[in-house]
């Protein structure tokens, strides 16, 4: 892992997630206007790749947080589930012992990008032969 602070690592991941969301929105718009099946399939594959990138980016955020708070990241076949369980920070002992250390104020600019608005493309997606 690099020498970046936790805030810098989180900001890097949020930037990557934001870029993937922007690409996803662009591909969704293009999909609704694409009459050729081969291009629709390529766009659907690009959409899937970006969704995977968003998911893994969020997962990396959780790993960074777990490493900072718990000083370890779960391993083994169920590490994904264990990681989510460890992120129940409401009752985490480290948070209770050092509340000021982990209290952070995040400005609106640093917040996770808003959820995708799929209402404009949803009807067209229902007619896509690949979905």
pTM across the whole model:
0.61
What is the separation of C-alpha 116 from the centre of its chain, rounded to a whole number of angstroms? 12
Whether residue 131 is predicted with pLDDT greater than 50 in this model: the reply is no
pLDDT tens for 19-49 read 999 999 999 999 888 889 999 999 999 999 9
Average pLDDT, the chain: 76
Q: Which residue has the higher pLDDT, 31 or 69?
A: 31
Cα angle vertex 92, ends 90, 93, to 5°?
135
**Token couple for 56:** 């893994």
pLDDT of residue 57: 92
Domain ranges in the chain? 6-106+115-127
Confidence band for 104, pLDDT divided at 50, 70 and 90: low
């Amino acid at each position: 892992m690099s020498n970046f602070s936790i805030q810098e690592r989180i900001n890097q991941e949020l930037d990557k997630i934001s870029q993937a969301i922007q690409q996803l929105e662009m591909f969704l718009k293009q999909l609704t206007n694409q009459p050729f099946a081969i291009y629709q399939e390529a766009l659907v594959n690009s959409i899937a790749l970006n969704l995977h990138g968003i998911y893994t980016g969020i997962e990396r955020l959780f790993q960074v947080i777990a490493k900072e708070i718990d000083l370890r990241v779960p391993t083994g076949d169920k590490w994904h589930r264990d990681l989510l369980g460890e992120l129940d920070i409401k009752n985490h002992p480290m948070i209770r012992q050092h509340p000021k250390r982990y209290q952070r104020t995040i400005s609106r600019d640093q917040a996770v990008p808003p959820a995708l608005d799929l209402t404009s493309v949803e009807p067209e997606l229902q007619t896509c032969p690949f979905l």
